[in-house]
Amino acid sequence: MPQGRSARIRGGRGPLRPRSGGSPHAAADALVVEHLPFAAKVAANYARRTGHPREDLEQQAAIGLIKASRRYDRQHPGRHRAGSGSSHFIAYARPYVNGEITHYLRDKGFLISLPGRWRELHARGQKLRREGIGAAVIAARLGISLGRWSEICDACRVRVVAMPLGEAEE
């Protein structure tokens, strides 16, 4: 039997290959770690607009960043000036990060399906509410009746909540 690292047999499964120096995704993982602050910033913007916990959205943004980094071709990143590789990756990754967050918000954000217009009005109204503006003024600024504003608030108040199953329910 030939000598050498690549010729050894492990458990009868075949020859071992020489190690190439790490994970096949090492370069992609380095991109993710380098750009986590970008993902956190995007997640914070969504959290501020939607009222969802920032930490949950940061996790989704990180997943989008991982997907982008695994698909990114560092050898042929497109047209860019020397030294702008990082900004090119951010431009490439932004749709992945935004997509993961918006898919999460669409799928898990509300217990019931709400029209996009209602979610938009609710987000705008919550921003006004944080400024200390009353419900009647908010409704007037949004161009809807007070009753409709109340209905939108009630509908948007229902969120998906992860509840642990009790022993009797399992």
pLDDT at 124 over 80: yes
Using alpha carbons only, how large is the chain's radius of gyration in Å?
24
Do residues 44 and 100 share a domain? yes
On whether both 41 and 93 belong to a single domain, the answer is yes
- Tally of domains in the chain: 2
Same domain? For 98 and 121 the reply is no
Q: Which residues contact 126 (CB under 8 A, 6 or more apart)?
A: 51
Give the predicted TM-score (pTM) of the model: 0.53
105 shares a domain with 60: yes
Say if residue 68 is in the same domain as residue 30.
yes
Residues 102 and 115 in one domain: no
Tell me the residue range of the domain where 38 lies.
24-74+86-109
Provide the sign of the torsion angle of the four alpha carbons 48, 52, 58, 60, taken in this order: negative
pLDDT at position 74 is: 74
Provide mean pLDDT across the span 108-133.
82
Confidence of residue 82 (pLDDT cuts 50, 70, 90): very low
Q: Residue 9 pairs with which residues in a beta bridge? A: 15
Q: Residues of the chain with pLDDT > 70: what percent? A: 69
**Statement to judge: residues 116 and 52 lie in one domain:** no
Q: Are residues 119 and 105 in the same domain?
A: no
Instruction: Output the 3-class SS for 41-96.
Output: HHHHHHHHHHCCCHHHHHHHHHHHHHHHHHHCCCCCCCCCCCCCHHHHHHHHHHHH
DSSP-derived secondary structure letter, 118: H
> What is the pLDDT, as a whole number, of residue 31?
87
If asked whether residues 39 and 97 sit together in one domain, one would say: yes
